[in-house]
Amino acid sequence: MGKDLADTMTATTSNDVGSVTGSSPAKSVNLGPAAALASKESGAEIPLAPEFVSPDDFSPLEVVYDFGAVRREDIEAGPRSIWRYKKLLPVPPNIEEHPNTEPGCTRLIQADRLAAELGMRKLWIKDDTGNPTHSFKDRVVAVALAAAREFGFRVLACPSTGNLANATAAAAARAGWQSVVLIPSSLERAKVLTTAVYDGALIAIDGNYDDVNRLATELAAEHEDWAFVNVNVRPYYSEGSKTLGFEVAEQLGWRLPEQIVVPIASGSQLTKVDKGFQEFGKLGLVEPTPYKVFGAQATGCSPVSAAFRAGQDVVQPVKPDTIARSLAIGAPADGPYVLDTVRRTGGAIEDVTDEEVVAGIRLLARTEGVFAETAGGVTMACAKKLLETGKLNPDEETVLLITGDGLKTLDAVSEHVGPRATVPPSADAVQQALED
């Protein structure tokens, strides 16, 4: 059972977290190559701090770097985790010495059977279900934890659509920190249990994710000693998604794919995969060859896809209604930046119905032996639709990001799959069932 929130609050408020403040640089921090935070709009810089909104123009803040020389050999000699890319992340140089979940280095599978079924030439699945809590969120949380530690925080918190809840609770447990995790009360049972088991403070809120997110922003202002991974330390957290781009490029033999399909919730991951590809190109780690970034949403929560289709720059918030709950963010913070990235690279955004999501999960499982959660079903089904509508080129080398494990969303398939028959323990009965 999780700790009582009141206990946590008492403990955290009495916790001496030194110079952590909501509005000023915490202290002199060592976040490796990270040099400053800059407004995504004006580029105006502030010192590294637990801040997420630019005081210059109220736009989101982004980490800017002062990269030293980074060589392929150094990366290849690094640990089998995202820390092999530490010289490209806002983390201290001795990051491996601090207890963390060591995510990353997940499989890149050559998906020949799926490619054949879809009529594609070369297709890869980046199987991020292999992370410690079975989604890509372990990557972003590991980076957020590293930054939060440098700033002097000792409580890890988040509002979550599910996977982030798992990752935050686990990372806090591993580090010996307290956690405060807020989720919509409608979340899948598996995601609730796989968060609660880490014994932090898990609070279910009667409302959708956007309500929970608003509440988290309010709480972050009240509890300046809580590091909300995707609120007050969001600029650092989101950099963790660059490692998906780095890994794909390294696993392809130090080159970029021609097309990549990425699921969208807040939109952060999509923009950071692009940032990862660009950084690798600029640092000479790969040839900066052209690539297209494609976005995937569920129709029941498709504000970015709708804006893309309408040719708009502004994303109109929606009220989510889809089985892809991990992607159910009706007001995506990085929506406009997703539109920029997709348009700049010549990609597209598609959305699919819940029935198509289930069909996507089953197609991927049947052809490649990869069981994805609903977000993976969205990516798979959108890739199929993008092919059918001629937006994804079947002749170009393509990567699909499968970012979460199907065991977390069993309900999505429970009415569609099951045993072919239940028979007595006899060979004849099995034979009969196989012939039926």
Ligand X SMILES: Cc1ncc(COP(=O)(O)O)c(C=O)c1O
- Binding characters for ligand X, 368-387, by CB under 6 A (x = yes): -----x-x------------
Q: Give me the least distance between CB of 295 and ligand X, in Å please.
A: 9
Q: Is 326 in the site for ligand X (CB under 6 A)?
A: yes
What are the Cα distances from residue 163, in Å, to 140, 159, 195, 209? 11, 10, 9, 13
- Binding characters for ligand X, 137-176, by CB under 6 A (x = yes): ------------------------x-xx------------
Q: Is 135 in the site for ligand X (CB under 6 A)?
A: yes
Q: Give me the least distance between CB of 330 and ligand X, in Å please.
A: 12
Position among 305, 404, 409, 412 found at the interface with ligand X (CB under 6 A): 404
CA-nearest of 85, 83, 79, 81 to 65 is 85
Report d(CA 202, CA 194) in Å as an integer.
11
- 198 phi, psi to nearest 5 deg: -80, -5
Report d(CA 122, CA 116) in Å as an integer.
9
Report d(CA 145, CA 90) in Å as an integer.
11
- To the nearest 5 percent, what fractions of the chain are helix, strand and coil? 40, 15, 40
Q: Give me the least distance between CB of 223 and ligand X, in Å please.
A: 23
Sign of CA dihedral 92, 97, 101, 106: positive
Sign of CA dihedral 408, 414, 419, 424: positive
Provide Rg for the chain, Cα atoms: 21
Report d(CA 250, CA 77) in Å as an integer.
13
Q: Is 403 in the site for ligand X (CB under 6 A)?
A: yes
What SS3 state is found at 34? strand
Size of the site for ligand X (CB under 6 A): 17
Nearer CB in complex with ligand X: 120/187: 187
Ranked by CB distance to ligand X, the top (closest) residue is 404
Nearer CB in complex with ligand X: 20/248: 248
Nearer CB in complex with ligand X: 163/243: 163
Q: Is 367 in the site for ligand X (CB under 6 A)?
A: no
Position among 268, 297, 341, 409 found at the interface with ligand X (CB under 6 A): 268
Q: Give me the least distance between CB of 68 and ligand X, in Å please.
A: 28
Q: Is 132 in the site for ligand X (CB under 6 A)?
A: no
Q: Is 364 in the site for ligand X (CB under 6 A)?
A: no
Q: Is 341 in the site for ligand X (CB under 6 A)?
A: no
Q: Give me the least distance between CB of 407 and ligand X, in Å please.
A: 12
Helix 163-175 with 137-151: angle, nearest 10 deg: 40
Nearer CB in complex with ligand X: 12/135: 135
Q: Is 403 in contact with 376 (CB distance < 8 Å)?
A: yes
Nearer CB in complex with ligand X: 180/327: 327
Which range binds ligand X by CB under 6 A, 50-58, 221-229, 261-269, 383-391? 261-269
> What amino acid is encoded at 220 in this protein?
A
Q: Give me the least distance between CB of 425 and ligand X, in Å please.
A: 40
**Backbone torsion region of residue 260, taken as left when φ is above 0, otherwise alpha when ψ lies between -120 and 50, otherwise beta:** beta
CB-based burial, 269-304: b 16+ in 10 Å, e otherwise: bbbbbbbbbbbbbebebbeeeebbbbbbbbbbbbbb
Position among 8, 259, 266, 398 found at the interface with ligand X (CB under 6 A): 266
Q: Is 12 in the site for ligand X (CB under 6 A)?
A: no
Q: Is 264 in the site for ligand X (CB under 6 A)?
A: yes
- Token code pair at residue 125: 């699945």
Which range binds ligand X by CB under 6 A, 182-190, 257-265, 345-353, 414-422? 257-265
Q: How open is the CA angle 95-89-108, to the nearest 5 degrees?
A: 95
Enumerate binding residues for ligand X (CB under 6 A).
135, 161, 163-164, 263-269, 326-327, 373, 375, 403-404
